[in-house]
Chains A and B, each alone.
Chain A
Amino acid sequence: MSTTRSLRDVQVWMVGAITGKDADANAKDVEKYVTASARLSAAGRFDVYRSGYHARLYECLLDDYPVLAAILSRLDSGEDDQFAALCRAYVDRHPSASPNLNGFGRHMPAFCREVKLERFPGFDALRVFASELAALEWALVEVLHAETAPPLEIAALQALPPEAWAGARFIKSEGLRVFRFEYPVNAVFIANRIDEIVPEVPAPSPNAIAVYRKDMLLWRMELTPAMLGVLEPLLAGKSLGEALATIEAEVTDPEVLAQTGANLMVWFREWVDAGFFTRIELADAKA
C-alpha cells in the first residue's frame, strides 16, 4: 500500500469518491487512502463526507425550491421521493464549480424539462408544470440578489411632457422578471407559502407574472394579457410609441385594446410604484 501519493492525487481520488455517478465505484478504494478508527471502518468514516455532500446540496435546492419540493415530495412516499430523486440527478448533472451556492440552483427550470427520473416515470407528465414552478421560485432568488438601483420616481413620470411619451424608453430594473406560464404556478405558490397547503398539480391555465423587489421585499404581480402587451415590448427596449404601435398592429381582441386605452396610465403608476423601471430615456436625452 503506497503512502506517498501526491496531495493532488489524494484530492482527485477523494472528490471522485464523494461526487458524481462513479463515486460508489471510486470509494471502493477507501482503505488505500483513509484509516479506520477504533469505532468505525475507513468506509464508515468516509461516509460522513459522502452523505454530507448530497445532503448539503439537497438543502440548498430545498431552500431555493420549497414549493416544488412540497409538491413533488408528496407524490411518492418512501425513502426517496421525487424531489429527492430530482435533486440527486441535478447534483450529478450540475455539480457546483463556484465558491458559493447562491447560483447553484439556476439550472433547475431547464433541468426539469429534460431530466429522466428512472424511478419516477410519472415525472414526464409534470415536467412543464415543474419547470414553470421552478422558474418562478428561481426568479425570487435572482431578484433577491439583483443589483440595488434607485427606482424611477413617480415625479419623473409626472414631469414627462405629453409630446415625449411616444419616444420614451423605460429602463428595466435588474430586480424585475416577467414570465408567461402555461400553468397557474403563482396560485400554487400562494397556496403553499401563504395558505400552508400542498395543492394538487393544477390544469393548464395560461397566465403571466411579474416578480420584483420593492423596499428589499420580494413581490409577485399577476399581469393581464393587456398589461403584458404593453410591458413586454417596453422591457425588450422599445419606446412606448413602438409598443403601442405593435399592439395596434397585432392585437385583434377588442377587449384587450379597450383595456389598454383605458388603463395605460394606471398601469404605469403601478409599475413605477413597484420599481419596475430605473429611469426614462428619451430620444435625445435621459430623464
Chain B
Amino acid sequence: MNRFSLPNLGIGLGLRTVHYAHILEHNPAVEWFEILSENYMQTKGRPLHFLDRVAERYPIAMHGVSLSIGGTDPLDRAYLAELEALRNRTKALWVSDHLCWTGVAGKNTHDLLPMPYTEESLRHTAARIRQVQDVLGAPLALENPSTYVEHVGNTMKEWDFLAALASEADCALLLDVNNVYVSAYNHGFDAADYFAAIPFDRVVQLHVSGHTNHGTHIVDTHIGPVIDPVWELLGEAYRKTNASILLEWDAEIPSFEETHADALRAKDFLVAKAGA
C-alpha cells in the first residue's frame, strides 16, 4: 500500500470513444477505467453522457495532459476548476498528469515537453504542485514522461529530480515503466538507476504500453504490443508497489476485445511473476 492509502484497483483500461458502445452494452469485467481528463472538458454533450454511464458502473481515475505543471505561465485556474468539477462528477479516485510543460506565452503545443532538471525547475514545479493539490484537496499523481532531448543546463538526473520533487511537493507518482524504458534508450541510462531512486511508497499507479523504435530513438506512441523488457520492468515495479496498473493504447486502437485481452495478459504476467 502506498503512503496515500489509495487502493490497488487491479488492471484498468483507458476509456476510448470507439469502445463506448461495447462497454455499455456488454458490461465487460474491467476492474477500472482511466479517462483522459481533457476529453471530457470544454464539452457539455455526448462525451459526458457516455462518461456518466461508465462512471456509474466502474471505478474511474483521471489522467491529464494539459496541466502544464512545469510551465512558467500562471496556472490556468479555469482549467483547474473544470478538472475539479470532473473529479466530483466521476468520483475519480485520483488525478494524475505529467512531469512536463505544454506551452508558454499562451500557446499550447499539446505535447509533453521536457523539463530542465535544475534547482529552479524543482522549486517552481513543487510550488505549483502544492497549489494544484490545494485546489483538488487531494494528492496529484505525477507521471514520469518519455523524453527525446536533454537540456544543456540540466544539473540533475531525471530520477533524482522526480524523487526530490515528490518529497518537496508531497505528491504521489504515476510510474510509467514504458517511459522509463524509452527515456533510458534515448538518453543512454540504466533503468535500474531510475528504479533505485524512485520512492515507491509514493507510486499509486503504473502505466505500461507499447512504443515505436526508430533505431536512433524510441517514441512513446502507445501503439502495438508491450515488449518483454517493459513487461519485466512492470513486474519489478509491481513487486515494489502493488499499485493499480493501466495498459495504455492511444493510437491504432484495436477492438475492445483485443485491448481487454491485452489487459488480461498483464494480469496473467503478474500472477506468474508473483508465483515465481
One of A44-52, A76-84, A265-273 at the interface: A44-52
Decide yes or no whether B239 CB sits under 8 A from chain A. no
**Which residues from B are CB-within-8-Å of A44?**
216-217
**Which residues from A are CB-within-8-Å of B187?**
37
- Given the interface pairs A37-B186, A37-B217, A39-B216, the reply to whether A48 lies near B46 with Cβ below 8 Å is no
Tell me if B110 and A56 are in contact (CB < 8 A): yes
User: Which parts of B131-155 form the interface with A (CB within 8 Å)?
Assistant: 148-153
Decide yes or no whether B41 CB sits under 8 A from chain A. yes
> Number of B residues whose C-beta is below 8 Å from A?
47
Decide yes or no whether B79 CB sits under 8 A from chain A. yes
- Given the interface pairs A33-B151, A35-B151, A39-B216, the reply to whether A7 lies near B124 with Cβ below 8 Å is yes
CA distance A100 to B72 in the complex (A): 18
Least CB distance, A256 to chain B, in whole angstroms: 34
**Which residues from A are CB-within-8-Å of B268?**
none
How many A-B pairs with Cβ below 8 Å?
Answer: 141
Nearest chain-B residue to A4 (Cβ)? B153
- Given the interface pairs A99-B41, A99-B76, the reply to whether A53 lies near B152 with Cβ below 8 Å is no
Tell me if A1 and B152 are in contact (CB < 8 A): yes
Tell me if B216 and A19 are in contact (CB < 8 A): no
Decide yes or no whether B59 CB sits under 8 A from chain A. no
Least CB distance, B69 to chain A, in whole angstroms: 12
Decide yes or no whether B210 CB sits under 8 A from chain A. no
**Which residues from B are CB-within-8-Å of A14?**
104, 113
Tell me if B45 and A15 are in contact (CB < 8 A): no
CA distance A97 to B68 in the complex (A): 12
Most buried by B among A57, A96, A99: A99
CA distance A3 to B201 in the complex (A): 34
User: Which parts of A124-156 form the interface with B (CB within 8 Å)?
Assistant: 143-148
**Which residues from A are CB-within-8-Å of B188?**
37-38
Within 8 Å by CB of A148, from B44, B120, B153, lies: B44
Q: Which B positions have Cβ atoms within 8 angstroms of A?
A: 38-39, 41-50, 66, 70-72, 76, 79, 101, 103-111, 113, 116, 118, 120-121, 124, 148-153, 186-188, 215-217, 219
User: Which 8 pairs from chain A and chain B are nearest by CB?
Assistant: A99-B66, A100-B38, A147-B44, A48-B148, A11-B104, A145-B43, A39-B216, A8-B72
Q: Give me 17 other A-B pairs in contact (C-beta within 8 A), A15-B104, A48-B149 excluded.
A: A3-B152, A6-B120, A7-B118, A7-B120, A7-B124, A8-B72, A11-B104, A14-B104, A14-B113, A34-B152, A39-B216, A46-B148, A97-B108, A99-B38, A102-B42, A148-B44, A174-B44
Q: Which A positions have Cβ atoms within 8 angstroms of B?
A: 1-8, 10-12, 14-15, 18-19, 31-35, 37-40, 42, 44-46, 48-49, 52-53, 56-57, 95-103, 143-148, 174-175, 213, 216
